[in-house]
C-alpha cells in the first residue's frame, strides 16, 4: 500500500513539473489612488506692457541709460535696453494670494563681471513683506536667455515689484524683452477608488475616475427624523453635564438621541 501511494505521489509531482506555467497578464494591474500628477494651468500675463511695445515704456520706470531699442529685440517691435550707469527699472503689480511664476528674456554684451551684472527680481517689499526672489546674475556676452523665477507663494493679497535689476552698477549693455507674470492654477487631481473585492483592479466597462466632494462640516445621523433634528437643535444640555465645557454639540446629540429612542419605544 505504501509503495502504491509513493508511486502516485511521484507521478503527480512529475505531471506538475512538466505542466505549462500559467503566464501572467501582459497588462499590469493598476492600484487605486492618484493616476497622474494634476495639470497646472497658467493664468493670464499680469505684467503691464510686457514686451515694451508702448512708448515710455508704459508701466516701467525709466531714467538715464534706459531706452527702447528697435534693432535688437526678441519679439515685437521693441526691447528695453540699458546702458552703463542705468539704475534699476521696475513695475509695481497688485497680486492676489496664490502661487506665481515670473520669467523674462535678456541679452547681454560685455556686461559686468566681478559680482556685477543684471538679474530679474520678484520683490515683495512694496507690499510690506521683507522678502525678495532674485535670479542668478547674468554677465558677459550672451544671446537671448530666458530667466524664470518660482513658484513663489503669496500668503495674502499684496503689491509686488518686478525689477529689471542692475546689480552693483555693471558696465556694458543688456536688453530685456517678453516679461511674464502668471498665477499657477492647478486643476483637480483625477483619482479612482479602490474596488474592495478586486484589490484595485480597473475594468474597461466601468468609469476609471471618480470625483469626490468634501462632506459638510456637520451633519445629523441618517436615522434622525425631522422631529429629532428639531429636538436636537432646540435642546440645551444641563449645567451638570460634564461634556458642556468640552463638546456641547455632542451633549446635544446625546439628549436628542435619548428623546428619539423614547418616542420610538412609545410607538
Measured over the CA atoms of residue 243, residue 244, residue 245 and residue 246, the dihedral's sign is positive
**In the beta sheet, which residues pair with residue 106?**
145, 176
What integer is the mean pLDDT of 260-267?
Answer: 64
Q: Read off the pLDDT of residues 53-103 as tens digits, 9 standing for 90 and up.
A: 998 899 999 999 999 999 999 999 999 999 999 999 999 999 999 999 999
Q: Read off the pLDDT of residues 129-185 as tens digits, 9 standing for 90 and up.
A: 999 999 999 999 999 999 999 999 999 999 999 999 999 999 999 999 999 999 998
Q: Which domains does the chain have, with CATH numbers?
A: 41-186 (2.60.120.260), 226-266 (no CATH)
Give residue 24's Cα distance to chain centre. Answer: 38
Rounded to whole angstroms, how far apart are CA atoms 224 and 259?
Answer: 11
Give residue 228's Cα distance to chain centre. Answer: 43
C-alpha cell at 107: 541679452
Rounded to whole angstroms, how far apart are CA atoms 129 and 132?
Answer: 9
Question: Residue 241 pLDDT > 50, yes or no?
Answer: no
Question: Residue 243 pLDDT > 50, yes or no?
Answer: no
Amino acid at each position: 500500500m505504501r509503495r502504491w501511494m509513493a508511486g502516485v505521489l511521484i507521478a503527480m509531482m512529475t505531471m506538475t513539473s512538466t505542466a505549462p506555467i500559467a503566464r501572467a497578464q501582459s497588462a499590469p494591474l493598476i492600484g487605486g489612488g492618484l493616476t497622474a500628477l494634476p495639470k497646472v494651468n497658467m493664468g493670464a500675463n499680469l505684467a503691464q506692457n510686457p514686451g515694451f511695445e508702448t512708448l515710455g515704456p508704459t508701466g516701467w520706470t525709466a531714467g538715464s541709460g534706459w531706452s527702447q531699442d528697435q534693432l535688437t529685440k526678441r519679439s515685437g517691435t521693441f526691447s528695453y535696453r540699458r546702458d552703463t550707469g542705468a539704475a534699476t527699472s521696475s513695475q509695481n503689480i497688485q497680486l492676489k494670494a496664490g502661487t506665481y511664476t515670473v520669467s523674462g528674456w535678456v541679452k547681454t554684451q560685455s556686461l559686468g563681471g566681478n559680482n556685477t551684472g543684471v538679474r530679474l527680481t520678484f520683490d515683495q517689499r512694496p507690499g510690506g513683506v521683507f522678502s525678495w526672489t532674485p535670479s542668478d546674475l547674468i554677465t558677459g556676452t550672451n544671446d537671448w536667455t530666458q530667466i524664470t523665477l518660482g513658484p513663489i507663494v503669496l500668503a495674502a493679497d499684496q503689491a509686488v515689484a518686478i525689477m529689471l535689476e542692475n546689480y552693483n552698477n555693471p558696465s556694458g549693455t543688456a536688453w530685456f524683452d517678453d516679461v511674464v507674470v502668471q498665477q499657477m492654477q492647478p486643476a483637480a487631481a483625477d483619482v479612482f477608488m479602490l474596488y474592495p473585492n478586486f484589490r484595485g483592479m480597473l475594468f474597461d466597462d466601468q468609469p476609471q475616475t471618480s470625483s469626490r466632494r468634501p462632506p459638510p462640516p456637520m451633519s445629523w445621523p441618517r436615522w434622525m427624523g425631522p422631529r429629532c433634528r428639531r429636538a436636537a437643535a432646540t435642546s440645551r444640555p444641563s449645567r451638570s453635564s460634564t461634556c458642556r465645557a468640552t463638546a456641547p454639540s455632542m451633549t446635544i446629540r446625546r439628549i436628542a438621541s435619548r428623546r428619539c429612542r423614547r418616542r420610538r419605544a412609545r410607538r
